[in-house]
A and B are shown apart, each in its own frame.
Chain A
């Protein structure tokens, strides 16, 4: 805006300017030659009102007319609607007052009105992004159990061998012809006898209510005395499950002789329609106990294996990245390529490719790489390598651009050729930034490879996502701990190495 425009006299008297701004907010300012102020106020007012109306239609999306939408929204979020309405009215009044002042030719900048505009935008932003502090606080207790398992998962890190004592009996379901015989009794072995060895399974009636099946009278002996014992049911196609009775898994404690007597209601089990002939189920009685020393659990072992895979993914990606980024970075350095228009064209092309490639996150490259080479760490390495080439290429080329041209001049003046000049004047200057950026990138790559598995790129992220989806928060916690510790160590080591080289 030119000075001539600023000093020009307002076109209209103050009261008219106020009325103008009452009809179209900002118009009064515009006509007083406060063009930027007027436009800014107009755009702010229009977008605030527009956003507000949009939120109302979302809050009350079933209502058709604006009036109904307003009433419905008000009933749902009264604080939000009142607050915004009040502020919008305040802004409108302020714009009118402001127009009056501007038309009077006030020099005063008056930034307060823009503070109000900002408050309005932030209030709308608060509602649009569905920030809900109340919910966050209220629901914390529910989040605590899984969270606490993630924070302290170490009970799941160890396990012990188990030994089990078990006996089974065959049961004929929904039939009574030729029931299976009781198992043969062998001295010294656990023994289970069911009376009878046939009966009806539990079923569901038309209202989906459970109809209890026949009761089996179970007698057993030869088990561990005074030990918690579980019953398992194996259906006619060999699938085992733990039946419930009155909501709990069926269990009991054996007596001092290792014997028991228990009445079991035959559980509900869908029989596949293709099943023909006699349906023989089995009932198992099982005692398990931990024996032997503590040892690493399966999640712990898997976590360690995949953590190693992750570190090596980061390492390989950094390695391939460096190898490809070094030559490319010379092509992307302006001071190396300013020779002719052909080299400058190469410079621009490589620069552009670097910028585009770098702006796409490794996670997205991983999605593409998974399509290319399939699930697994190789896809992750490809994704990280692509991103590393672009990121390191840019950093390298910028440090090549910022080297001291003096030594290059001096080495050229001795009659050295181009390659000698690079080896003697450029390379020694490049070593500290190259080492520093490379270590930094290795650090980033390992951190990135911990999440790249979430989209199938291998590494520990894959495991972590699986555990979370299985609600196995303790195992997930082990993975989280390993990631955190590894990243922290790497951070420390890389900063130490970088210090040495600068």
Chain B
């Protein structure tokens, strides 16, 4: 279970990205974060595994405060929390296999991993992960030879290699077309339901939010402005919608795939 208490992040230039945010994530949830670009979604996700240092507050991960963890304990917390990214963040010149094996770096002996030496069990595990996302035949290709959808699947496979208890997904489908978006979120849904891995995912398209989330939180200017269940977001009023997306936002047809909220 993840509990965020009074989390605040102020960047060096004075930007207040997160303002005193508190919420809980129960095990097995598919929590979706919505909000405009710049509302603090990415900062929030990155504070959880300390890719960004929080300014204040506690991040209680199964009872331990990640905000105060350092060195080894931080790395142990990180390896329990997988992460996938909008731009996939693969090492482009390395092979798909190497990219996926990198997910084991938190587990293997550092000295042998530097020479790209991984135990046979890890390689077997990598093939299982590739099988799960359907990219087994791409193993020896260079990551930048793959299409966007395939790259994101490599990203998912890399996260799965960590044997994670939770996966953070920072706008995982924002660079993909709607069909691929469904396929990627389908994998996350499967991981969430079959493997009981908690998912915390930021999304833009309201129809995707309605389809995949079990619970939703909304951020606006670094404040937590909305919290609701899947049922509630399906009934979301214009007033609540504008509360999150601002007065200018026009609600487009939530039922169609192409009708996303254009805000970039």
In this complex, the interface size class of chain A, counting residues with CB under 8 Å from chain B, is: 20 to 34
Residues of A within 8 A of B79 (CB): 414-415
The interface residues of chain B lying within 8 Å CB-to-CB of A412 are: 51, 78
Closest Cβ of chain A to B86, distance in Å, is 9
Q: Kindly report which residue of chain B lies nearest to residue A407, judged by CB atoms.
A: B91
Q: Are A416 and B89 in contact (CB under 8 A)?
A: no
Contact in complex: A424, B91 (CB < 8 Å): yes
Contact B90 A420 (CB under 8 A): no
B-chain residues with CB within 8 Å of residue A423 when the two chains form the complex = 113-114
Complex CA–CA separation, A420 to B104 (angstroms):
11
Q: Answer yes or no: B76 CB below 8 A from chain A CBs.
A: yes
Residue of A413, A416, A419 with most chain B CB atoms under a 10 A cut-off: A413
- Contact B90 A407, beta carbon cutoff 8 Å: yes
Task: Give the residues in chain B near A406, CB-CB below 8 Å.
Answer: 85, 87-89
Q: Is A431 an interface residue (CB 8 A)?
A: yes
> With an 8 A cutoff between CB atoms, is A432 at the interface?
yes
Chain A residues within an 8 Å CB radius of B81: 413
Q: Using Cβ atoms and an 8 Å threshold, which residues of chain B touch A416?
A: 75, 102, 105-106
- A399, B92: Cα distance in complex, Å: 16
Interchain CA distance A180-B162 in the complex, whole Å: 107
A410-B158 contact, Cβ under 8 Å, with A416-B102, A425-B91, A428-B94: yes
Q: Across the interface, do A429 and B49 meet the contact criterion of CB distance under 8 Å?
A: no
B120 to chain A, nearest CB (A): 19
Q: How many residues of B contact A (CB 8 A)?
A: 35
CB distance from B195 to the nearest CB of A (A): 18
Q: Cβ of B106 and Cβ of A414 under 8 Å apart?
A: yes
Given the known inter-chain contacts A410-B83, A415-B105, A420-B105, please indicate yes or no for A428 contacting B93, CB distance below 8 A.
yes
- Do A410 and B85 have beta carbons less than 8 Å apart? yes
A361 on interface, CB distance cutoff 8 Å: no
Task: Give chain B's interface secondary structure class.
Answer: mixed
Q: Give B198 Cβ to nearest chain A Cβ, in Å.
A: 15
Per DSSP, chain A at the interface is helix
What string of 1s and 0s marks CB contacts (under 8 Å) between B100-117 and chain A?
001111110010011000
- Nearest opposing residue in chain A for B98, CB measure: A424
Q: Is A298 at the interface (CB under 8 A from chain B)?
A: no
CB distance from B126 to the nearest CB of A (A): 13
Q: Which residues of B sit under 8 angstroms from A425, Cβ to Cβ?
A: 91
A420 near B114: Cβ-Cβ < 8 Å: yes
Instruction: Give, as a whole number of angstroms, the nearest-CB distance from A253 to chain B.
Output: 78
0 or 1 for each of A395-438: is its CB under 8 Å from B? (1 = yes): 00000000010110111111111011001110011011000000
Which of B75, B83, B102 has most A Cβ within 10 Å?
A: B102
Closest residue of chain B to A415, judged by CB? B106
Contact of B78 with A413 in the complex, beta carbons under 8 Å: yes
Give complex CA distance A302, B157 in Å: 63
> Considering only CB atoms, which chain A residue lies closest to B79 in the complex?
A415
Report the minimum CB–CB distance from B247 to chain A (whole Å).
Answer: 34
- Contact partners of B77 in chain A: CB under 8 A: 415
Inter-subunit contact A414/B105 (CB<8 Å):
yes
B82 surroundings in chain A (CB, below 8 A): 413-414
Beta-carbon contacts under 8 Å, A143-169 to B: none
Interface residues of A (CB under 8 A from B): 404, 406-407, 409-417, 419-420, 423-425, 428-429, 431-432
25 A-B pairs within 8 Å (CB atoms) are namely: A406-B88, A407-B92, A409-B85, A409-B89, A410-B89, A410-B90, A410-B158, A411-B105, A412-B78, A413-B81, A414-B78, A414-B79, A414-B104, A415-B76, A415-B77, A415-B105, A416-B102, A420-B105, A420-B113, A420-B114, A424-B91, A424-B105, A428-B91, A428-B94, A429-B93
User: Nearest 10 A-B pairs (CB), nearest first?
Assistant: A415-B106, A415-B79, A406-B89, A416-B105, A410-B89, A415-B78, A413-B83, A415-B75, A407-B91, A428-B93
Known: A413-B81, A431-B93. 9 other contacts (CB 8 A): A404-B89, A406-B88, A407-B89, A413-B51, A414-B103, A414-B158, A414-B161, A424-B102, A425-B91
